[in-house]
Amino acid sequence: GPRDEDYEIPPITPPNHPEPPPLHLMEHDSTSYLCHSLPHNGLINPYSYPELPTLMMSNMLAQESHLVSNQMPSLNQMVQAIGAAYDCVRPCVMQSSPPILPNPMSALTQLNLQVSRGALPHGSPSPPGSKSATPSPSSSNQEEEAEAHLKMTAEKRPSSDMMKPKPKPQKKKKKKDPNEPTKPVSAYALFFRDTQAAIKGQNPNANFGDVSKIVASMWDGLGEEQKQSYKRKTEAAKKEYLKALAAYRASLVSKTNNDPVETKSAQTSQPSPHMMPANPLYSVQPSSPYLGPGAFPLADLQSYAGHAPRHALSQTLSQSQMLPSISASPPSSFQISPPLHPHQQLSLHQSSLLNQPIGMQQVQSQPIIPHQMGLQASLHSPPPGQQGFSHLQSEYQKSIGGSQSPGASGP
């Protein structure tokens, strides 16, 4: 795969971790060249999810928790070191520490922070999007070049001649019949759609690239169960899509044969009496549309964050973050998002709709229900904006040590 290339294998394995961690630890991120050393730390902290995790992953929670604690110290150190090296690092560290916030937001917040950094007020070297910008000119030159070369080679040479079915070069989108039924979006796309809103809401500054990375990380960290849930939806949609497609084709054929004029009526009636014609997909998915954007995702977001993104996220975050917060405008980008917990609702919905294991688990294992409710209530009312949680922010900071200054807070 494309991104595999990057995986260069982490030069440094986490000394502290005896076992290969489930996820975050190992992140050999692709872009590690930027800052290998601190990969996880950045994430780790941020991802320490206190109670959210219960969402879906019970076991992970346990593991991670302990992991987090272990890493915390190292994280600080690393950060410091890194900071020294790269001047930008401190930010990442900061908030990571909250040991256990009562609210789920913690994870989310962290996430935000990371992301927010992307906004970079001024000159920041290398936003995620601008890969070519190359943050470190001298140091990674060779590597970069090599990489680039490799890429190019791969891109151009490799299979171009060899295997390239390439029946039709169609560079970009091929026109599709407008009438043709839309293909069901992939599980990932679905997930992206949902999550993206939440992420953006929390980090307005995050650009598409950042969001994409985060989402990817989340997706990666997403429990299989959850993934499956998405997949199920997709599958169902696909099924219907197939049907619709068949119908569409049939109608098309008939249309061709018969009368073009009948297109409309043919479509409508042909497709299947019992199924919906226009967009089977949407009708199928109860999740996003009904609950609303952000509902599920948000909750998930937290859990995802906690889960520990494998690679990109950490890197991305660390990179970006570092620069911005350097000086001191933490709060600006760092808005804590309202802990909306629509998640609960969602779970219920899902479970009822498609017996979701997740939801059940949550309820069972998570006694926090009351807690959540409270949060929900508070969050729910206020707009997704950032006002409602301002106090939260304070609290959060407080708990973590007031200032995010890395050096300041010693172990």
* DSSP E strand boundaries for 244-400: none
DSSP, res 175: P
Q: Which of 10, 98, 104, 128 binds DNA (CB under 7 A)?
A: 128
Nearer to DNA, 193 or 371 (CB): 193
Contact partners, residue 52, CB within 8 Å, separation at least 6: 104, 106, 107, 299, 302, 303, 306
Nearer to DNA, 10 or 330 (CB): 10
Collapsing DSSP states into helix, strand and coil, what is residue 402?
coil
Nearer to DNA, 66 or 131 (CB): 131
Q: Which of 75, 101, 197, 298 binds DNA (CB under 7 A)?
A: 197
Q: How far is CA 331 from CA 44, 102, 327, 397, in A?
A: 21, 20, 12, 10
391 binds DNA (CB under 7 A): no
Full DSSP string of 264-299: HHHHHHSS-SSS-SS-HHHHH--HHHHH-TTHHHHH
Nearer to DNA, 121 or 158 (CB): 158
φ/ψ of 208, rounded to 5, equals -60, -40
Minimum CB distance to DNA, residue 266 (Å): 22
Minimum CB distance to DNA, residue 37 (Å): 19
Structure tokens at 250: 């049939």
Nearer to DNA, 255 or 311 (CB): 311
189 binds DNA (CB under 7 A): yes
Q: Which of 213, 233, 255, 380 binds DNA (CB under 7 A)?
A: 213
Per-position x/- string for 135-174, each x denoting binding to DNA as judged by CB under 7 A, each - no binding: -------------------x---xxx--xxxxxxxxxxxx
End-to-end C-alpha distance for the chain, whole angstroms: 41
Q: Which of 176, 249, 264, 398 binds DNA (CB under 7 A)?
A: 176
From the number of C-beta atoms within 10 Å of its C-beta (0-12, 13-18, 19+), residue 140 rates as middle
Q: Which of 312, 323, 340, 368 binds DNA (CB under 7 A)?
A: 312
Per-position x/- string for 13-32, each x denoting binding to DNA as judged by CB under 7 A, each - no binding: -----------------x--
Q: Are 340 and 384 in contact (CB under 8 A)?
A: yes
Q: Which of 101, 187, 284, 305 binds DNA (CB under 7 A)?
A: 187
274 binds DNA (CB under 7 A): no
Nearer to DNA, 133 or 373 (CB): 133
329 binds DNA (CB under 7 A): no
Nearer to DNA, 238 or 307 (CB): 238
Structure tokens at 364: 């069972």
Contact partners, residue 113, CB within 8 Å, separation at least 6: 46, 91, 92, 94, 95, 321, 325, 333, 334
Contacts of DNA in 221-260 (CB under 7 A): 227, 231, 234, 238
* Calpha distance 337→277 (Å, rounded): 39
Nearer to DNA, 30 or 109 (CB): 30
Which residues contribute to the site for DNA (CB under 7 A)? 3, 30, 128-129, 131, 154, 158-160, 163-176, 182-183, 185-189, 192-193, 196-197, 200, 208-209, 212-213, 216, 219-220, 227, 231, 234, 238, 312, 316
